């Protein structure tokens, strides 16, 4: 949730926080809802009625901006606009989130918020248009230097993650010692917080699987770790929904749905 207030010392005071029910929608789920007026309206009415928050990431913005100013982009923008200010930007890098969690102090912002991206896109906001994720999406689209910088960062991350997991999976298959260490890793180590537990469990599941590790899988894993650890609900594609259910995540993590279960998700959210 993003709100703007004024005070005697600050003419513009931006407050960013996440209200419950908090929802992470994978990009595929956002695209699906944007094409379905009935379900999109239902989601909007439930989220607004419960004063919840939709959490999105820079990766979502990059994918949407890559569409150009065509009908699909317009539908995604309209869907995001319909949620008004009920959104926040997710820091999808679990390593950064875990580091912030370990340094967190009372009254600090939530470790999962991407304050850097939020500040960047706010600099492009005129203050006249409505404050919505759709508006900030257009600001991102209209700032090629900013969007290109994020594209380059994400490309580097994707490449590095793919190399790392390809190597780890090869070692797991061919090195008995590595395989034993991974299989016996205690992901519920008493020194691990919830995000670290989920990260450990999902890394292991991703290394063990025989499915091809695609370029986008590293980011999907990262998003999954942070979102499942901190959101109330997550809607992902079938592959990652299945993996998240397979790891049997710790308590107080998200309720997970696949995109094809959108009606079940909406029913649960409305519950």
Q: In angstroms, rounded to a whole number, what is the distance separating the alpha carbons of residues 219 and 215? A: 8
- Three-state SS for 23? strand
The DSSP string of 149-198 is HHHHHHHHHHHHHHHHHHHHHHHHHH-HHHHHHHHT--TT-TT--HHHHH
With b for 16 or more beta-carbon neighbours within 10 A and e for fewer, the 2-28 pattern comes to beeeeeeeeeeeeebebeebbbbbbbb
Distances (CA, A) of 117 to 67, 123, 190, 222, 229: 20, 10, 33, 17, 21
pTM score, two decimals?
0.89
Q: In angstroms, rounded to a whole number, what is the distance separating the alpha carbons of residues 196 and 200? A: 6
Q: pLDDT (tens digit, 0 to 9) for every residue of the chain, 271 residues total? A: 777 666 666 656 678 889 999 999 998 999 999 999 999 999 999 999 999 999 988 787 777 766 665 788 889 888 988 988 888 989 999 999 999 999 999 888 899 998 887 777 777 666 666 777 777 777 777 777 777 877 888 888 889 999 999 999 999 999 999 999 999 999 999 899 999 999 999 999 999 988 888 888 988 999 999 999 999 999 999 999 999 999 988 888 999 999 999 999 999 999 8
């Amino acid at each position: 949730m993003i709100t703007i207030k004024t005070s005697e010392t600050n003419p513009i005071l931006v407050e960013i926080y996440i209200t419950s029910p908090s929802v992470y929608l994978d990009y595929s789920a956002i695209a699906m809802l944007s094409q379905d007026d009935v379900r999109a309206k239902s989601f909007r009415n439930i989220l607004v009625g419960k004063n919840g928050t939709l959490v999105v990431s820079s990766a979502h913005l990059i994918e949407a901006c890559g569409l150009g100013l065509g009908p699909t982009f317009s539908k995604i923008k309209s869907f995001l606009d319909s949620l008004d200010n009920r959104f926040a930007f997710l820091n999808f890098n679990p390593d950064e989130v875990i580091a912030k969690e370990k340094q967190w102090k009372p009254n600090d912002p939530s470790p999962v918020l991407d304050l850097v991206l939020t500040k960047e896109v706010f600099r492009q906001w005129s203050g006249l248009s409505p404050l919505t994720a759709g508006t900030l999406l257009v600001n991102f689209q209209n700032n090629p230097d900013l969007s290109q910088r994020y594209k380059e960062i994400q490309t580097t991350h994707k490449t590095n993650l793919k190399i790392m997991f390809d190597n780890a999976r090869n070692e797991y298959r061919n090195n008995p010692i590595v395989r034993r260490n991974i299989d016996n890793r205690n992901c519920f180590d008493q020194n691990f917080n919830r995000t670290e537990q989920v990260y450990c469990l999902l890394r292991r599941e991703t290394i063990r699987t025989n499915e091809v590790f695609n370029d986008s899988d590293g980011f999907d894993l990262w998003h999954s770790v942070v979102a499942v650890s901190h959101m109330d609900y997550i809607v992902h594609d079938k592959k990652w929904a299945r993996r998240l259910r397979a790891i049997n995540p710790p308590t107080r993590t998200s309720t997970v749905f696949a995109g094809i279960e959108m009606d079940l998700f909406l029913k649960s959210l409305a519950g």
